Structure 1
Amino acid sequence: MKPGSRLRPGQGAEGRVTVPSASARPPIEDIDGQPNYDDAELEASGYHREMPRQFSTFSLLALSYAVICTWNGFASAIGNGIKQGSSSGSIFMLFPAALFIGIISLGMAELTSAFPVAGGQYYWAFILSPPKWGPFISYSTAVISVLGIWLGGASTCNSISGMVLSIVQFMNPDYIIDPWHKYLVYVAIMVLGATINIVGARKLPALTGFIFVFSMATLVVTTITMLLCSYPNYNSARWVFTDNTISSGWESHSLAWVLCFVNNLYGFLGTDAGVHMTEEIPNSTVTAPKVIVGILAIPSTRECANRTQIYPVIIGLATVFPFACTCMFVIKDIDEILNAPSGLPLIQLYYQATGSRVITVLLMVAFAICFFACVVAIITGSSRALWSAARDECFPRSDLWKQISPRFGMPLNAVIIQAAFSIVYGLVFVGSETAFELMVSASIIFLVGSYVIPQAILLFVDRDELLPERPFSLGRFGYAVNFISTIWTVLLVVACCLPTEYPITPYNMNYNRSVTISAQEEAKAVNNSWWSLIADDLQHCGIGVVLLDLVRVGFFEKGCLPWAKHRQSYARVNETKAFARVYSRCAHPVA
């Protein structure tokens, strides 16, 4: 074994893997008299716990919802939805968007239950891929995952900065928004979000819970206010649910609804937030999937927050649907909204509904606060994703990004590098807002792509052989979920590259394909030399899948998982296939 290569649980001094006996399980320490199974599973996965498990099921749900913030995402892009598919397209394409992300999230939830580590997608890609391709696929997944989250965070900051200045212009029509004004607000928002993540790291669970309640209250107040102020001058239900007037220039209604689907998808992205926080929650093999998919039947007799958590995508759909319908009922003049003087359709919609500048400003301020919570949550999740990848030396100067601040108990440097990237990247829209938005829209492709890569790999392997015992399993539906997720993602990539307006001009042309490929090539060029240095080291990473099985056998013996008595766990651990599988991925001849 080469000097400097890392040993993981399950590897001997020479880098060879041995199958331990049941008595050789990782040590399980007691915390408040309860067995610390979470740390034992983390040890079996190849890592040591470095951050406190301070999030409960509710606070993790609140964090995930803050990232998704579906009704905020829909409202911020409502102008595009109305232009592409009018009222009916904007409303009804919410359902396929939710279904799309929901099915993908089912696959992620199963993988999270099997391997509850903060690395998520890149970690799964490594242990599921063939030994020859595992390191490169894992490394590529880590790059597009982190890049996608960073671009998504930049997009949200850009939207909020536009809202702030639009409010100012709404109150003072003589004010002219200059790009550098917007950039300064953009920087302030990013710095504030990073500061909250650093200074308030130990208060994040309470903060996310408060924001969840505040967001729900804002939604209810906004909806009721618009309905009361517009009474009785509502649009007809027939118009709201059947009008399909296209204002984008396209004549094909099918194409228009596809564009509406892509537009609405923006409000459902971010279900991987719970994945990256798995090392900061108790009972992670159960709690994380429960937050991601809300399956109440996931067996759990260990201490866990309540069993009635609701799936964030369902919360998103349940909140955005009535809000979307309300918006369409109170619209007075579509052309005025699409050509809003402030450049923000939502503020014009609020004004048409309420008829009061003061009420409009108050609603917009509350909306901006909810959207700012999304920035804070994105920074939280992305810093964990970068930190986890840095533990495996995936990026240049990983020695900096993998450090945990003893004072704040969080990856301080990972937060700082994301803020620095976003601040520098924000200079793009000072020169060209279109160029900035094109790069940011590529984040959808990057994020969804990282969600699906591990699931696509599962289509070509034996799921029962590769996945260890897990509380949440898709069972016989696993292949179907993974197949649908993969096919839909391929179609999504095509849809994201369609021009949004007609006739097509150099100004409105969709350059997503070129931008995505360029971003990938740039990332590859920057990291190419680094990959040559870490490729061999990644080959030495010993993932203790057998140890994971053994740890979970311990749960079964204690009766913690009711359905365990129906599984021959010990037989599985001692199977020749299991040994060969782990050996092929972890063992390496002495160099």
Structure 2
Amino acid sequence: MAEIDLHEYKNEISQDQIEGKGTAGGIDTDEAVLSAQGHKAQLQRSFSWMGALGLAFSIVNSWLTYAACFGVTYSYGGGPVAIFSPLISAIVQWLVLLGVSELASAFPSSGGQYHFTYIVAPEPYKAFSAYTVGMINVVAWWVNTASGTIYTAISAFGICQFLIPGFVGTQWQVYLCYLLVIFITLFPIFVIPQNRIENMTKTAMFLSILGFSLVVIVCLVMGRGNYHPSNLVEYRSTSGWGPGPGWLLGIGNGEYAFAAAGACVHIAEEIPNPSRKVPLVINLTILMGVFTAIPWIIAMTCVVQDMEAIQNAFLPSLELLYQGTGSKAAATFLQVYLTILYYSMTLISSLKIPVTHPSIACVPSQWITSSRMTWAFSRDNGLPFSDYWSEVDSKRNIPVRATLLSAGFCVIYGLLYIASTQAFNSIINTAVLMLNVTYTVPQAILLFQGRDILPSRPLNLGFLGYGIHIFSVLWLILSGIFFCFPTSNPPTLANMNYNSVVLSGIFAIVLILWIERRKKFCGPAIDWDILNAIQAAH
């Protein structure tokens, strides 16, 4: 796409020239906003707001994500903590992401948080602060994608272990299955045309809602007469932590179900009118997460028969479904459905089938997000060999090399699972904290720089923005402390939390990489006057 003459465009802008299609004077305002931030459009705007919502919600899948940590949260205080802590988590994460939404409204770019950081940071600290945020964000999304992929393999082996007495899968066998899942979930990214990829994300979202309804209805119907509503109100801590730490740990655990709602920020250059649509999608993702997660938690808490068995199971979600239905066949069917829905994919039976019925997957949505973040960061010379990774394939109109780099990281990172599942899981547990670090740093900078530096934008929090930024900073400090607590008290080698060690190690690696990148990394060259003129007119 040809570059836009911004100075000529600025002279042409007037309110009556702005049309419903986002054009002014015959020039696309979305591309003009991007050009005013120093970048040229390279990706098609092929996602509608509904497609972006499908991408974000299929990654978050709050009700299903919470199933993975339901048993741990229950151990912190029984039903009350298991039910109310994710609701508090949703509110907390929404407030943090509200500040991100405003920044995305002001500076829509696939770079997201590092892009915002570079723009608002003081001149002497722009490059280093943005580079640090960008590298942490890239690693966080790579690890998040790896986590969804490895749990596919674990789920497959868990089903086999559940059905076949004596079956035990080794770690290297799980890794081989993990590699297969990587290959399968990358398939639709390269097969489905980019202008129809949103059909996949929307279908994944609708099937997630269907799966939520299916699990709740089947478990409540088949568990009829075997409910335990007392589970909802009975406070029972088996973790060794008191009520205060227990609630804080429960809230932190619940953030796993909502932290990735900011995924759509990284496809801002593929959504028409992103200044309005990205904040809308973030808020709707959180809202949908609450309206699916909370009813699911209430229903499943009532059908729990033996929480200790769930916590000790190889695949806790399958044991939970078994206790809810009382049937191995029903529990297996539901677990297989959820595995296909969230972690794996349903292959189209023939490539001749129209792409309006695409492969259904949620992990592919994670590949999209992680590849866009990697591509955007490479565009600003954030990675070694950035010129190579920042290339956009002219036929597929996607950053193929950045996608393969993300996959390559996951392949190598998965080897850690063979060596030590504890080390592998420790890094995964740190991903949520890393995401919140990237969400908070640009907001913290705004507190010191002043919000007056922000240009005109559709989402303007006004003076309330200071309260949001202060809350985000304080919450990061507080959550950063209890995210490093062991899961049970007293701590042992088996339950020790290595989040602080992992985060320190990642930051040390970032510092080492910065030595090589400090003279090469460059952020957006923003033209404030033109950006203000475009945003104000549009």
TM-score by length of 1: 0.83
Aligned residue among 504, 510, 515 for 2:497: 510
**1:314 maps to 2:287:** yes
Aligned residue among 530, 547, 550 for 2:530: 547
Which residue matches 1:307? none
Give secondary structure in 1 for the equivalent of 2:87: helix
Query: How many angstroms apart in 2 are the aligned matches of 1:217 and 1:22?
Result: 48
Aligned residue among 149, 173, 184 for 1:157: 149
**1:366 maps to 2:337:** yes
Indicate if the aligned counterparts of 1:39 and 1:49 stay in contact, CA closer than 8 A. Answer: yes
Which residue matches 1:564? none
Aligned residue among 354, 375, 387 for 1:387: 375
Cα distance change, pair 553–336 in 1 and its aligned pair in 2 (3 A): closer
The residue type equivalent to 2:221 in the other structure is L
Query: How many angstroms apart in 2 are the aligned matches of 1:201 and 1:116?
Result: 24
Query: How many angstroms apart in 1 are the aligned matches of 2:18 and 2:89?
Result: 44
**1:182 maps to 2:174:** yes
Q: Encode CA deviations 1:137-196: one digit per residue, 9 max, x unaligned.
A: 111110011111111111222222111110011111221111011111111112222232
For residues 7-406 of structure 1, the aligned pairs below 5 Å read: 22-23=10-11, 35=24, 36-202=28-194, 203-236=196-229, 239-250=230-241, 252-293=242-283, 311-340=284-313, 343-372=314-343, 373-406=361-394
Query: How many angstroms apart in 2 are the aligned matches of 1:283 and 1:399?
Result: 28
Indicate if the aligned counterparts of 2:128 and 2:518 stay in contact, CA closer than 8 A. Answer: no
Displacement of 1:481 in angstroms is: 0.7
Indicate if the aligned counterparts of 1:197 and 1:376 stay in contact, CA closer than 8 A. Answer: yes
Displacement of 1:208 in angstroms is: 0.8
Query: How many angstroms apart in 2 are the aligned matches of 1:95 and 1:355?
Result: 28
Indicate if the aligned counterparts of 1:201 and 1:410 stay in contact, CA closer than 8 A. Answer: no
Aligned residue among 510, 513, 518 for 1:523: 510
**1:428 maps to 2:419:** no
Query: How many angstroms apart in 1 are the aligned matches of 2:170 and 2:440?
Result: 40
Query: How many angstroms apart in 2 are the aligned matches of 1:532 and 1:285?
Result: 31
Cα distance change, pair 73–413 in 1 and its aligned pair in 2 (3 A): same
Cα distance change, pair 24–508 in 1 and its aligned pair in 2 (3 A): same
Which residue matches 2:474? 487
Query: How many angstroms apart in 1 are the aligned matches of 2:93 and 2:459?
Result: 18
Query: How many angstroms apart in 1 are the aligned matches of 2:374 and 2:142?
Result: 10
Single out whichever of 359-368 and 516-525 deviates more from structure 2. Answer: 516-525
Q: Encode CA deviations 1:235-262: one digit per residue, 9 max, x unaligned.
A: 02xx222222112233x12212222112
For residues 404-415 of structure 1, the aligned pairs below 5 Å read: 404-415=392-403
Query: How many angstroms apart in 2 are the aligned matches of 1:10 and 1:49?
Result: 13
Question: Structure 1: which 5+ residue stretches go unaligned?
Answer: 1-7, 12-18, 294-310, 556-591
The residue type equivalent to 1:243 in the other structure is E
Cα distance change, pair 40–20 in 1 and its aligned pair in 2 (3 A): closer
Query: How many angstroms apart in 1 are the aligned matches of 2:312 and 2:263?
Result: 35
Query: How many angstroms apart in 2 are the aligned matches of 1:118 and 1:313?
Result: 20
Query: How high is the sequence identity, in percent, across the aligned residues?
Result: 29
Query: How many angstroms apart in 2 are the aligned matches of 1:33 and 1:405?
Result: 26
Indicate if the aligned counterparts of 1:25 and 1:547 stay in contact, CA closer than 8 A. Answer: no
TM-score by length of 2: 0.91
Cα distance change, pair 37–20 in 1 and its aligned pair in 2 (3 A): closer
Give secondary structure in 2 for the equivalent of 1:243: coil
Cα distance change, pair 37–232 in 1 and its aligned pair in 2 (3 A): same
Which residue matches 1:533? 519
Query: How many angstroms apart in 2 are the aligned matches of 1:319 and 1:106?
Result: 20
Which residue matches 2:355? none
Indicate if the aligned counterparts of 1:76 and 1:159 stay in contact, CA closer than 8 A. Answer: no
Question: Structure 2: which 5+ residue stretches go unaligned?
Answer: 344-360
The residue type equivalent to 2:464 in the other structure is F
Q: Encode CA deviations 1:444-484: one digit per residue, 9 max, x unaligned.
A: 121110011111111011212x1111111001211111111
Cα distance change, pair 21–94 in 1 and its aligned pair in 2 (3 A): closer
Cα distance change, pair 121–274 in 1 and its aligned pair in 2 (3 A): same
Displacement of 1:126 in angstroms is: 0.6
Cα distance change, pair 21–174 in 1 and its aligned pair in 2 (3 A): closer
Q: Which runs of 4+ in 1 moved over 3 A?
A: 8-11, 19-22, 28-35
Give secondary structure in 1 for the equivalent of 2:166: coil
Indicate if the aligned counterparts of 1:9 and 1:46 stay in contact, CA closer than 8 A. Answer: no
Indicate if the aligned counterparts of 2:58 and 2:201 stay in contact, CA closer than 8 A. Answer: yes
Displacement of 1:515 in angstroms is: 1.4
The residue type equivalent to 1:530 in the other structure is E
The residue type equivalent to 2:130 in the other structure is S
Indicate if the aligned counterparts of 1:129 and 1:457 stay in contact, CA closer than 8 A. Answer: yes
CA RMSD in angstroms comes to 2.2
Displacement of 1:102 in angstroms is: 0.3
How many pairs were matched up? 513
Q: Which has the larger radius of gyration?
A: 1
Which residue matches 1:459? 447
Indicate if the aligned counterparts of 1:10 and 1:543 stay in contact, CA closer than 8 A. Answer: no
Cα distance change, pair 20–495 in 1 and its aligned pair in 2 (3 A): farther
